[in-house]
Amino acid sequence: MNQPQIIRVTEDRSVEAELSPEAVTELIGLPNSLFEFRPMITPGKFRIIAGGRIGVWESPSLKVLVEPKIRDVNLLAMIDPDSPIHSHGAEPEHRPEESFLGLLAVRLGRLMVAHARRGLRQGYSAISEESAFLRGKLDIPAQLREHHPAASAFHIEHDCLTRDILVNQIPKALAAQIADRFSASTEAGGCLSDAITSYAGVSAEGLDLRRAFDELDRASPDASEKELIDLARLIWEGFDPRETSDKHHTSLQMLDLHLVFERYVADGLMRSLREFDVQSQRSIVIAEASHRPAELTARPDVLITNAGQPWLVLDTKWKTFVGAPAADDLQQIIAYLHVTKSPFGMLVYPGTRHDFNEFAINGGGVLILQQIQVTGTCGECRDSLNRLAHEIHRRIKTDSPPGRE
């Protein structure tokens, strides 16, 4: 069997390569969120353009390795700010493409074990069963479908206190789904094994994670569970194979750095601004239908309220900032400002230094274009995020909201 062609490219960069007809066929229809490939003038030659994902995409004839544009140590600091690896500032040894999934798996396993030790939350769930005693509610359709019901059997529905609720089932299902990627002798494999064991009382077999995340969004998980659920979503959206093609037997193990940066900024602000209500990915209604009940919703990355009033709406952008925001970024934040009626809007970009500029918006409100440092030492990056939180705190405490016409 022929070995696949290997192409290496740095995130947010491009590389030129000759591709076989088989590789081109496998790449056709690939989502642009992974990377793009464009034909060049020379026959058989293509330009591979990496987006905001790192990791590996592999098919029978092609393997594309996308490496991060920032140092591993800086990326690890964004993925897991509490990891001890940054305390001494050492540059970790370059790891294979699955290393970032391994880091996230370790974090997931440890959070799950910590939650299990504190005691997993229970909730009520509807149970359908047969019973010799009538309790709860009689399931009349099921009772009528029984042609020869036993005299002592009732089809009943009742609520039961159980650990089989989504905040427990989602981490359990995800841990089981990715555990087979790691040897039991590795740190990730051991942490996931411990986590699955600690959730032994939770049944999550066959759980549809896409539907489960949607349902949990509507239910609004408790603040104590949000860190675990956000991490589970990051792993699922970054490494879940739902974007692969069974037709070409492709393998997707790519981490979405847009999500990593969004989570890094949101978590940092929530930790530093406990005095205020800082909400991440809160669903807001953009528009309502006039003819039948329906809504259009959106999710700004961060919404900060003070005394019940929206104060700042923020959106993160993992892209290079060169003087002015892209038109779609600008339109998005202006729409959020209009709908939430927040006096301040902010677009946060990664950068090599801490910098900002602000603009008075015609019609009222202020737009802040903010860069935070993600290169240099981990201490400098951490200080930049803390400085952003301090500046927001000062602005809320001392600035009067700008007028809105």
CA 358 to CA 288: how far, in whole Å?
A: 32
Q: Quick one: 392 and 268 in the same domain?
A: yes
* Residue 354: domain span: 260-398
**Helix crossing, 257-272 with 223-239: angle to 10°?**
170
Q: Quick one: 145 and 273 in the same domain?
A: no
DSSP 307-339: TTEEEEEEEE--S---SS--HHHHHHHHHHHHH
Q: Quick one: 270 and 389 in the same domain?
A: yes
Number of domains, the chain: 2
Q: Quick one: 265 and 154 in the same domain?
A: no
Q: Quick one: 156 and 269 in the same domain?
A: no
357 inside domain = yes
Q: Which two tokens stand for residue 37?
A: 């490939």
Q: Quick one: 394 and 269 in the same domain?
A: yes
298 inside domain = yes
DSSP 13-77: -EEEEE--HHHHHHHTT--TTTEEEEE-SSTTEEEEEE-SEEEEEE-SSEEEEEE-SS-HHHHHH
- pLDDT tens digits for range 23-78: 888 888 777 667 888 899 998 899 998 888 888 888 888 888 888 888 888 888 88
Q: Quick one: 269 and 393 in the same domain?
A: yes
- Quick one: pLDDT at residue 159? 61
186 inside domain = no
71 inside domain = no
- Quick one: pLDDT at residue 183? 83
The pLDDT averaged over each successive group of 10 residues in the chain (405 residues) is: 85 91 83 80 90 83 88 82 52 50 84 90 69 62 61 63 85 90 85 93 88 76 76 76 43 77 92 89 79 80 90 93 88 91 94 93 89 92 95 85 52
- Quick one: pLDDT at residue 132? 59
- Quick one: pLDDT at residue 381? 92
Q: Quick one: 153 and 264 in the same domain?
A: no
Task: Please check whether residue 363 is in contact with residue 337, taking contact to mean a CB–CB distance below 8 angstroms.
Answer: no
Q: Where are the alpha helices (DSSP H) in 80-121?
A: 99-118
- Quick one: pLDDT at residue 261? 93
**Helix crossing, 166-179 with 223-239: angle to 10°?**
30
Domain ends where: 133, 162, 191? 162
Q: Quick one: 275 and 153 in the same domain?
A: no
306 inside domain = yes
- Quick one: pLDDT at residue 266? 92
170 inside domain = no
The CATH number that applies at residue 303 is 3.40.1350
Q: For the whole model, what pTM was predicted?
A: 0.75
Q: Residue 256 carries which side chain, given as an amino acid letter? A: D
15 inside domain = no
Domain ends where: 145, 162, 179? 162
Q: Quick one: 273 and 386 in the same domain?
A: yes
242 inside domain = no
What values do phi and psi take at 24, rounded to 5?
Answer: -65, -45
